[in-house]
Amino acid sequence: MEENILLTGIGASPGVIIGTAMLVDRGRPDFSHVRLSTDQDVEQQIAFFYRAIEESKAQLERAKQEVRKRNVPEGEYIIDTHLLILQDKVLLNSVSRRIRDEKIDAAWAVGLVMAEFKKNIGEISDEYMQERTSDIDYIEQRILRNLAGTTVEVVSRPAENAIIVANDLSPADTASLDVKTVLGFVTDCGGKTSHTAIIARALKIPAVVALNDASLRISNGDMVIVDGTNGAVIVNPDAQTLLKYRQQKAKYEEFERSLLRYKSLPSLSVDGFRVNLLANIEIVEELDSVQHYGADGIGLFRTEFLYLNKQTLPSEDELFGIFRRAAEQLAPKPVTVRTIDIGGDKFMSQIDVAEEMNPAMGLRAIRFCLKEIPIFKTQLRAILRASAYGKVKIMFPMVSCVTEMWQVKDILAGVMAELTREKQPYDPHIEIGSMIEVPSSGTIADLIAREVDFFSIGTNDLIQYLLAIDRVNEQVSYLYEPLHPAVLRLLRRIIDAAHAQGIPVAMCGEMAGEPLYLPILLGLGIDDLSMTPIALLEVKKILRSMDYRQCRRIVHELFTFSTAEEIRSFVSRETAGLLPA
Ligand code: PEP
Ligand code: MG
């Protein structure tokens, strides 16, 4: 037996596990194409097709029940998306039409129609849409398996300490994994932002995806180490490697535990400079995580997930219920609700929006809201009503000029007047903020600062637009550099402009949760950092070991360097021993 085979892929969910491989064959069943000769054959194939659809729906409904029992809301919403595809009239009609018109068997027709769907989506070159093609693949395979009568529900009874190895796992399969016995999984396909990876993180099980041929190189019963933090998989480790990973696993678990003691400690530097450490959330179910990691509040509630993959728009009461729950659960800590950032790579099925050549620079975020005013007003009413139940703030994404802020404030004033007339309670002094995530608003930060109560810097977009690097294109990802002197200069300008106007500045892009950048952000005088909840305690630990005055000196000097590399090594030298290696 070959020992110590190292496979590398993408770490989709962090942590180290050591277990026994269990292969799951989710391959596409073999079909030969059959031409039909009689009308009776045609009708029979159409009937087989509809039966396969009904069976597929029943299986997904069962998976949904399972997922609901386990309280994995992301899983439910993904299964709902798949159920919607199965009810799609265009899909159903196209397949039956092809069987009838072209006189071909059901599996053949399904393959052709699905290929067409995928081709249409494939022409839209963005990551989110690309992931929708994998949803279509999962559905196609399910229908085909049901047509072939070979359907098997995935890994219903895995052995203890199983590590699932598969060419691919659908989100529904993943959400139904029994986490009492399944430690984690590895797959040949997938990406970090795929739905399958999202579910792995929600279930808190380590996973590595995009391994290419893991399912061919691993056999049932092999011992497997999965390092979900670094995207590595080791098959049949030798004694030395096993020992190394056992130690690493123990260290990781100990590190996680040790961080919990920072939960209730204040977010202060050693010399008493306060930086509020806040959480970014996408769905209301994450509130428990926010509290578990002791966040000082919510710095970014991305509300677009309440609109995606739904047949109808959420009602005002539905939105109000969600925002109120967050406000009440966290009170008196702040909950910063960002109005919908729809468009770009996130689309809504309820509204027809024209296809755009360049969606990242198109009708996105506040631009969309200022065009679809009824949708915007409904959301503002819900947020304002929730503000009577805690400390709610509102912020607006993608603001690029002062006029947009004026328009937003006009609409907000109108909505407030309406609520007052209706005697609905709300906080009349609710704070409003602008996200600074477009170079134009960064450049005129002094002018925008006069219009708002706070700023929140969205570095994910700001860096993409400032450095002209598509944030979802892996070809140029090597150029995505938060330490680029242009980025740091713009950050300094934004923070100084806000402070000159007497308003605080938060940062809610991914840069905020990276320990390496903390001394710089602290030295620049950032007031709040908002990040994924699991990053909070490590950042707090480092913050509590840093000296604000020293960070100010570091920042003062770093503006003399001309490259990101020089800045990185200078900061590492100056903070030696304080930051993780
Ligand atoms: C950002 O752009 O940094 C940000 C926080 O917004 P999003 O990632 O949702 O675009
Ligand atoms: Mg953004």
CATH code, domain carrying 158: 3.50.30.10
Residue that finishes a domain, picked among 118, 148, 178: 148
Burial of residue 11 (number of CB atoms within 10 Å: 0-12, 13-18, 19+): buried
Top-confidence residue, 77 or 163: 163
Is 359 found in the same domain as 236?
no
- Give the per-residue pLDDT at 152: 45
Is 43 found in the same domain as 74?
yes
Residue 189 annotated among the catalytic residues of the structure: no
Atom of ligand 1 nearest to the CA of 397: 6
- Give the per-residue pLDDT at 127: 60
Q: How confident is the model at residue 151 (pLDDT cuts 50, 70, 90)?
A: very low
- Give the per-residue pLDDT at 420: 98
Q: For residue 257, what are the CA distances in angstroms to 234, 295, 334? A: 25, 17, 27
Residues making up the chain, counted from first to last: 581
CATH, residue 65: 1.10.274.10
Identity of the amino acid at 466: L
Task: Answer yes or no: pTM beyond 0.75.
Answer: no
- Give the per-residue pLDDT at 256: 84
User: Which residue do the tokens 């702040």 mark?
Assistant: 334
When divided into structural domains, the chain yields a total of 3
- Give the per-residue pLDDT at 376: 97
For residue 34, being part of any structural domain is answered with no
> What's the CA-to-centroid distance between 462 and ligand 1, angstroms?
8
Structure tokens at 232: 């590595």
Is 112 found in the same domain as 9?
no
10 and 231 Cβ atoms separated by less than 8 Å:
yes
Question: Which tens digits make up the pLDDT trace of 501-538?
Answer: 999 999 998 899 989 999 999 999 999 999 988 889 99
Is 163 found in the same domain as 143?
no
Structure tokens at 403: 């006029």
For residue 12, being part of any structural domain is answered with yes
- Give the per-residue pLDDT at 344: 61
How does strand 10-13 pair with strand 207-209? Answer: antiparallel
Is 144 found in the same domain as 157?
no
> Lowest mean pLDDT: which of 89-98, 189-198, 221-230, 302-311?
189-198
- 3-state SS string over 112-139? HHHHHHHHHHHCCCCHHHHHHHHHHHHH
Mutate to test the pocket of ligand 1, among 281, 463, 508 (most ligand atoms within 8 A of CB): 508
- Give the per-residue pLDDT at 27: 56
Is 331 found in the same domain as 417?
yes
Question: Which tens digits make up the pLDDT trace of 308-353?
Answer: 656 688 999 999 999 999 999 999 999 999 999 987 655 565 666 6
Top-confidence residue, 291 or 253: 291
- Give the per-residue pLDDT at 200: 80
Distance, in Å, from the CA atom of 278 to the CA atom of 473, rounded to the nearest integer, reads: 28
Distance, in Å, from the CA atom of 49 to the CA atom of 453, rounded to the nearest integer, reads: 58
Is 368 found in the same domain as 275?
yes
- Give the per-residue pLDDT at 458: 96
Distance, in Å, from the CA atom of 117 to the CA atom of 114, rounded to the nearest integer, reads: 5
- Give the per-residue pLDDT at 307: 81
Is 205 found in the same domain as 64?
no
Percent of the chain with pLDDT over 70: 89
Beta carbons within 8 Å of 125's beta carbon, 6+ residues apart: none
State the catalytic residue, choosing from 82, 195, 369, 551: 195
Shortest CA distance to 282 belongs to which of 385, 202, 388?
A: 202
**Which residue stretches of 468-529 are H helix?**
485-500, 518-524
276 and 528 Cβ atoms separated by less than 8 Å:
yes
- Give the per-residue pLDDT at 180: 83
Average pLDDT over residues 118-123: 75
Shortest CA distance to 139 belongs to which of 62, 193, 78?
A: 78
76 and 309 Cβ atoms separated by less than 8 Å:
no
Question: Which tens digits make up the pLDDT trace of 65-77?
Answer: 877 777 777 777 7
Distance, in Å, from the CA atom of 458 to the CA atom of 299, rounded to the nearest integer, reads: 11
Residue that finishes a domain, picked among 148, 169, 191: 148
Q: Is the pLDDT of residue 487 over 90?
A: yes
Top-confidence residue, 204 or 113: 113
Is 163 found in the same domain as 94?
no
For residue 360, being part of any structural domain is answered with yes
Distance, in Å, from the CA atom of 551 to the CA atom of 570, rounded to the nearest integer, reads: 12
Helix 106-122 and helix 127-148: axis angle, to 10°? Answer: 180
- Give the per-residue pLDDT at 285: 72
**Ligand 1 pocket, CB under 6 A:** 300, 302, 341, 437, 458-461, 508-509
Residue 556 annotated among the catalytic residues of the structure: no
- Give the per-residue pLDDT at 158: 65
Residue closest by Cα to atom 8 of ligand 1: 460
- Give the per-residue pLDDT at 298: 98
Question: Cis bond leading into 332, ω under 30°?
Answer: yes
- Give the per-residue pLDDT at 251: 87
Percent of the chain with pLDDT over 90: 53
Mutate to test the pocket of ligand 1, among 338, 342, 441, 460 (most ligand atoms within 8 A of CB): 460
452 and 405 Cβ atoms separated by less than 8 Å:
yes
Structural domain that includes position 341: 267-574
Average pLDDT of the chain is 88
- Give the per-residue pLDDT at 360: 81
Mutate to test the pocket of ligand 1, among 364, 437, 455, 511 (most ligand atoms within 8 A of CB): 437
- Count helices and strands (H / E) in the chain: 22, 16
Atom of ligand 1 nearest to the CA of 509: 3
Is 163 found in the same domain as 127?
no
Q: Is the pLDDT of residue 156 over 50?
A: no
Burial of residue 33 (number of CB atoms within 10 Å: 0-12, 13-18, 19+): exposed
Is 159 found in the same domain as 59?
no
Bridge partner list, 64: none
Atom of ligand 1 nearest to the CA of 457: 3
Structure tokens at 18: 């050591």
